[in-house]
Chain A
């Protein structure tokens, strides 16, 4: 573990934590433009976090200690995930600590804690949101795992840096299985990050909420952490997508700071495009009814399995 690697690792984590709200702001801006409204400024999420941090936290009297430290756990697991995902550079020290399957486990940890915290206060909407979130998670996780398996089969390993490397080593090849996996991944991304068509992040109708219902009881710094964690989750998912499907531009080795700077620029460009595409998808689709959400995710799962099968068939 060289010094340069450690510094780069910390730099990558810092970039993730700081750029995530910016990414969220960009998605909201694109959405506003597509819907012919005037957009909130790009730094709006930062302002919201700053506002929340300055307030006093109000906690329910019968809330347990879990309720208080859950936001920290969630934020922590998202930051750890950001450390593992090769967004800027491939050969970082923490990246060897966990592979793609452990990554799924990290996201699961965050989900479990947010659901538990929602049930903790005993309100009806919290339980409602927690149940729905668990239903979606139960279906989204296998789909995500299948996507990882498809990519791992092609790369020969489940470690994300190796998967990200495979495209750069080999000549341009069209992998149909990977194309299916990409579509499945996109669907899982939409479901897990509470985007339309699965969940409307801007809704204020409690009966249609999934994600928002779970955080209704939170306020001040806890809410700030949770909002930041959701923005970070979206950022992480986007970076996983880049690592699996469009990894070009990530720094292969850490010889010089120019490589890192280039990686940063490329990452920003990818985030720009990704944000615009996400906003487009959200604008073109309507929110599906709750009982159709399992169908949506079942479709994602089937696509991922299909990608796996196609990969197995066409390579033999």
Chain B
């Protein structure tokens, strides 16, 4: 397939989508918590760039506001909250994982294949400039979900949760040229409040258990 048939903005969007997917995998394999937050911020930055390119190439101005909102929230505010949290709670490493890291990566690749398969019938109907990136968006969501399942520390679960929101935002911009601004504001507000509540929550957990290892949170079983 001749590559010059795809216009340049779309190639850039493909590149940024691939970077987002790569960062998802990197987060899956990462053990240091501060680096995990860096990667999350980078993923947000890649999303902002992608949204800006879509906004410029398709002429939809509300996407500029959406990109600004994502920048403020996912690249600046949320990582800041997470940095302060990890500083106050003195968290460094999350060495124990549910599965070993090579196995996790293998499962991740299987999920990526599944996500691409799921996206095929949908993206064949889309007409936007970013139709083929829907598969990547679904893959990012699934990888974040995998990260949430296989990790032990509460902070990494939270970062997985936020990465899932990143994937969903990417899906919204890639499949539908962005949701209406009111909805976006609502979602952003939810994410922010969720992060704040989680922050409060961590302190409560820490106070009670003196650790943020989730082993302690497994006592409530069926009698």
Cβ contact within 8 Å between B106 and A174: no
Chain B residue contacts of A249, Cβ below 8 A: none
Whether A253 is near chain B, meaning CB under 8 Å from some CB there, is: no
Chain B residue contacts of A298, Cβ below 8 A: 101-102, 105-106
CA distance A303 to B26 in the complex (A): 10
Cβ contact within 8 Å between B15 and A179: yes
Among the 9-residue stretches A56-64, A65-73, A260-268, A305-313, the one with 4 or more Cβ atoms under 8 Å from chain B is A305-313
Neighbour of B3 across the interface among A173, A295, A312, CB < 8 A = A173
Whether A170 is near chain B, meaning CB under 8 Å from some CB there, is: yes
- Taking the nearest CB of chain B, how far is it from the CB of A312, in angstroms? 8
Known A-B contacts A294-B102, A313-B136; the reply to A306 vs B14 at CB < 8 A is no
Cβ contact within 8 Å between A315 and B4: no
Whether B186 is near chain A, meaning CB under 8 Å from some CB there, is: no
B1-23 vs A, Cβ < 8 Å mask (1 yes, 0 no): 11110100001101101110110
Chain B residue contacts of A252, Cβ below 8 A: none
CA distance A174 to B11 in the complex (A): 6
A156-192 vs B, Cβ < 8 Å mask (1 yes, 0 no): 0000000000000011011111011000000000000
CA distance A299 to B22 in the complex (A): 11
Cβ contact within 8 Å between B11 and A306: no
Chain A: interface size category = 20 to 34
Pick from A170, A176, A294, A299 the residue with the most CB of B within 10 Å.
A176
Neighbour of B4 across the interface among A173, A177, A314, CB < 8 A = A173
Pick from A298, A302, A314 the residue with the most CB of B within 10 Å.
A314
CA distance A176 to B118 in the complex (A): 21
CA distance A305 to B106 in the complex (A): 10
CA distance A176 to B14 in the complex (A): 7
Cβ contact within 8 Å between A315 and B1: yes
Cβ contact within 8 Å between A305 and B4: no
Cβ contact within 8 Å between B15 and A170: no
Whether A316 is near chain B, meaning CB under 8 Å from some CB there, is: yes
Cβ contact within 8 Å between A175 and B102: no
- Taking the nearest CB of chain A, how far is it from the CB of B137, in angstroms? 11
CA distance A180 to B101 in the complex (A): 19
Neighbour of B22 across the interface among A294, A306, A315, CB < 8 A = A306
Known A-B contacts A174-B14, A309-B113; the reply to A180 vs B22 at CB < 8 A is yes
Interface set, chain A 273-316, CB cutoff 8 A to B: 294-295, 298-299, 302-303, 305-306, 309-310, 312-316
Known A-B contacts A180-B22, A299-B29, A314-B14; the reply to A170 vs B101 at CB < 8 A is no
CA distance A165 to B144 in the complex (A): 38
Chain B: interface size category = 20 to 34
Cβ contact within 8 Å between B21 and A306: yes
- Taking the nearest CB of chain B, how far is it from the CB of A304, in angstroms? 10
Chain B residue contacts of A173, Cβ below 8 A: 3-4, 6, 11
Residue of A at shortest CB range from B29? A299
Residue of A at shortest CB range from B102? A298
Cβ contact within 8 Å between A313 and B11: no
Cβ contact within 8 Å between A310 and B21: yes
Whether B109 is near chain A, meaning CB under 8 Å from some CB there, is: yes
Whether B112 is near chain A, meaning CB under 8 Å from some CB there, is: yes
Cβ contact within 8 Å between B21 and A171: no
- Taking the nearest CB of chain A, how far is it from the CB of B102, in angstroms? 4
CA distance A303 to B112 in the complex (A): 12
- Taking the nearest CB of chain A, how far is it from the CB of B7, in angstroms? 11
Whether B108 is near chain A, meaning CB under 8 Å from some CB there, is: yes
Pick from A305, A306, A313 the residue with the most CB of B within 10 Å.
A313
B120-148 vs A, Cβ < 8 Å mask (1 yes, 0 no): 10000000000011011000000000000
Neighbour of B116 across the interface among A170, A174, A313, CB < 8 A = A313
Chain A residue contacts of B113, Cβ below 8 A: 309
Pick from B11, B18, B22, B119 the residue with the most CB of A within 10 Å.
B18
Whether B161 is near chain A, meaning CB under 8 Å from some CB there, is: no
- Taking the nearest CB of chain B, how far is it from the CB of A224, in angstroms? 38
Known A-B contacts A174-B15, A180-B22; the reply to A305 vs B132 at CB < 8 A is no
Chain A residue contacts of B116, Cβ below 8 A: 309, 312-313
Whether B25 is near chain A, meaning CB under 8 Å from some CB there, is: yes
- Taking the nearest CB of chain B, how far is it from the CB of A197, in angstroms? 14
Neighbour of A302 across the interface among B12, B18, B25, B136, CB < 8 A = B25
Chain A residues packing against B (C-beta within 8 Å): 170-171, 173-177, 179-180, 294-295, 298-299, 302-303, 305-306, 309-310, 312-316
17 CB < 8 A contacts A-B: A170-B2, A170-B3, A170-B4, A174-B12, A174-B15, A176-B18, A299-B105, A302-B106, A302-B109, A303-B22, A305-B109, A309-B112, A309-B113, A310-B18, A310-B136, A313-B132, A315-B1
6 closest cross-chain pairs (CB), A and B: A176-B18, A173-B3, A298-B102, A171-B4, A302-B105, A174-B11
